[in-house]
């Protein structure tokens, strides 16, 4: 496929993608929740999230797009099509960030989608189907656990009420923060969840090193690996560090150490495909001169093969139960997502559009979770990755170049125009 093999309208749309405008929008959005060193801390349903939503709505109003919102606060910006009652094509991502996040994770997918809508306006292109840009509520899950709430509720996998008990670290209920956000956001109409969607596409920074290392600009994402999350709670007994004989101790930190050592053996993967992370470990009372009475840690497990995840999940329970005594232990699976496969036709379209536009492209799987993983079981879906410097993400140092961001938006424009014509 060459550039000429792009349809006329697609070529016209991509030509109107404005690299400077797209970059400027990123910089404007990064002011909401700005932290030192170019970082962003924009927690879901926080005042900064609301301010970012209102800013997007302001830009949408200036273009006369339609704004709607569903019961979980997913925000939709629609550019109408001329097909009456045609099912929309949808694109987007999320606007919330990690506590020490960067300027591109999530927000890029929303702004790339919005850039496509603006390019279509500027090019006076009329599509048959409406194109919706969606900003999903709480993808990160860092303030309100679990992440992916917005796309879970939209696709019917969960109900808003399922999260009624969820609170942030200040004790504030998710429901309360949601209500405040819904009230503060001025939309044209309410939108039902689970309405038909023709196809969903999501642009995102890779959050890994593959594109950069291989010299590719565009990643056509084939799917998202499956993941499991576990919470392990160990109960020991506190004692005085200076007096309690080691043999009589029920030291929760030492029990955690035994569990983690044995888990490293269980998780050994010479092919380095498994992603196994213990990122959180909390000791109680956490005092230098007191034997630990408690230890809790998280296990995050990701792999493209569900059978591998299933086997490892069992072995986690067995290894921990064996290693913990004389302490007590409780192992709970807190999250499970089976691997998602994206729609091959759209994945191929991403790759070929990229090549037609002169961008080196490859197909690759996603290591990170994305809302597109939820959408993949709801409608034809795919993702477009662009490189991020050093593969660094969830970090203030997260960086993508203006030209790579624009390249991703061009590929997105080409694909959406085709999908909206079908």
Interface with its own copies (CB under 8 A): 98-100, 142, 206-209, 225, 227, 229, 238-248, 251, 253-254, 257, 260-261, 264, 269, 272, 274-283, 285-292, 298, 300, 302, 366-369, 391-395
Spatial contact of 115 and 63, defined as CB atoms under 8 Å apart? no
Nearest to 276 by CA among 321, 308, 253, 323: 308
- Residue 23 CB, nearest approach to its own copies (Å): 23
What lies within 8 Å, CB to CB, of 129 at 6+ separation is 81, 83, 86, 87, 88, 89, 198, 419, 420, 421, 422
Q: Which two tokens stand for residue 52?
A: 């970012």
Q: How far is the C-alpha of 253 from the C-alpha of 324, rounded, in Å?
A: 10
Least distance to its own copies from the beta carbon of 349, Å?
24
Measure the CA–CA gap between 110 and 121, rounded to whole angstroms: 17
Of 186 and 261, CB closest to its own copies: 261
Provide the minimum distance between the beta carbon of 48 and its own copies in the complex, in angstroms, as a whole number.
Answer: 19
The distance of closest approach from Cβ of residue 298 to its own copies in the complex, given in angstroms and rounded to an integer, is 4
Shorter beta-carbon distance to its own copies: residue 35 or 421: 35
Residue among 6, 121, 89 at smallest CA distance from 416: 89
Beta-bridge partners for 331: 232
Q: Which is nearer to its own copies, 175 or 278 (CB)?
A: 278
Burial class (CB in 10 A: 0-12, 13-18, 19+), 307: exposed
Please state the closest distance from residue 172 (CB atom) to its own copies, in A: 19
Rounded to the nearest whole angstrom, what is the least distance from the CB of residue 276 to its own copies in the complex? Answer: 7
E strand or H helix that includes residue 12: helix 8-15
Identify which of residues 15 and 257 has a Cβ nearer to its own copies in the complex: 257
- Closer to its own copies by CB, 115 or 251: give it: 251
- Burial label, 8 (beta-carbon count in 10 A; 0-12, 13-18, 19+): exposed
Q: Are the beta carbons of 314 and 306 closer than 8 angstroms? A: no
Nearer to its own copies, 198 or 275 (CB): 275
Residue among 285 and 360 whose Cβ is closer to its own copies: 285
Exposure on the CB side of residue 336, measured as CA atoms within 13 A: 8
């Amino acid at each position: 496929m060459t550039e000429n093999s792009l349809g006329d309208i697609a070529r016209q749309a991509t030509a109107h993608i404005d690299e400077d405008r797209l970059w400027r929008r990123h910089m404007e959005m990064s002011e909401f929740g700005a932290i030192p060193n170019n970082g962003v801390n924009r927690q879901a349903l926080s005042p900064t999230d609301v301010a970012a939503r209102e800013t997007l709505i302001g830009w949408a109003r200036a273009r006369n797009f339609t704004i709607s919102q569903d019961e979980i606060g997913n925000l939709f910006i629609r550019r109408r099509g001329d097909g009456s009652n045609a099912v929309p094509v949808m694109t987007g991502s999320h606007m919330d960030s990690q506590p020490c996040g960067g300027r591109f994770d999530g927000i890029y997918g929303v702004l790339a989608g919005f850039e496509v809508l603006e390019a279509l306006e500027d090019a006076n292109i009329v599509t048959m189907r409406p194109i919706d840009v969606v900003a999903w509520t709480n993808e990160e899950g860092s303030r309100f656990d679990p992440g992916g709430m917005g796309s879970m509720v939209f696709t019917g996998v969960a109900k808003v009420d399922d999260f009624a008990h969820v609170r942030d670290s200040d004790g504030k209920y998710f429901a309360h923060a949601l209500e405040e956000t819904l009230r503060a956001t001025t939309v044209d109409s309410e939108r039902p969840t689970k309405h038909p969607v023709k196809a969903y596409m999501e642009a995102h920074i890779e959050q890994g090193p593959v594109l950069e290392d291989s010299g590719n600009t565009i990643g056509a994402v084939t799917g998202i690996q499956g993941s499991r999350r576990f919470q392990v709670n160990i109960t020991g007994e506190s004692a005085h560090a200076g007096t309690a004989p080691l043999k009589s101790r029920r030291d929760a930190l030492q029990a955690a150490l035994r569990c983690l050592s044995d888990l490293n053996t269980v998780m050994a993967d010479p092919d380095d495909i498994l992603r196994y992370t213990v990122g959180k470990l909390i000791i109680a009372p956490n005092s230098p001169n007191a034997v630990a009475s408690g230890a809790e840690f998280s296990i995050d497990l990701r792999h493209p093969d569900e059978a591998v995840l299933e086997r490892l999940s069992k072995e986690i329970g067995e290894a921990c139960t064996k290693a913990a005594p004389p302490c007590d232990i409780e192992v709970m699976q807190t999250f499970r997502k089976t691997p998602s496969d994206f729609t091959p036709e759209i994945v191929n379209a991403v790759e070929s559009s990229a090549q037609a536009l002169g961008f080196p492209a490859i197909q690759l799987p996603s290591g990170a979770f994305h809302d597109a993983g939820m959408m993949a079981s709801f409608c034809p879906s795919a993702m477009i990755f662009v490189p991020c410097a050093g593969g660094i993400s969830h970090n203030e140092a997260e960086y993508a170049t203006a030209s790579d961001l624009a390249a991703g938006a061009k590929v997105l424009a080409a694909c959406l125009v085709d999908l909206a014509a079908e």
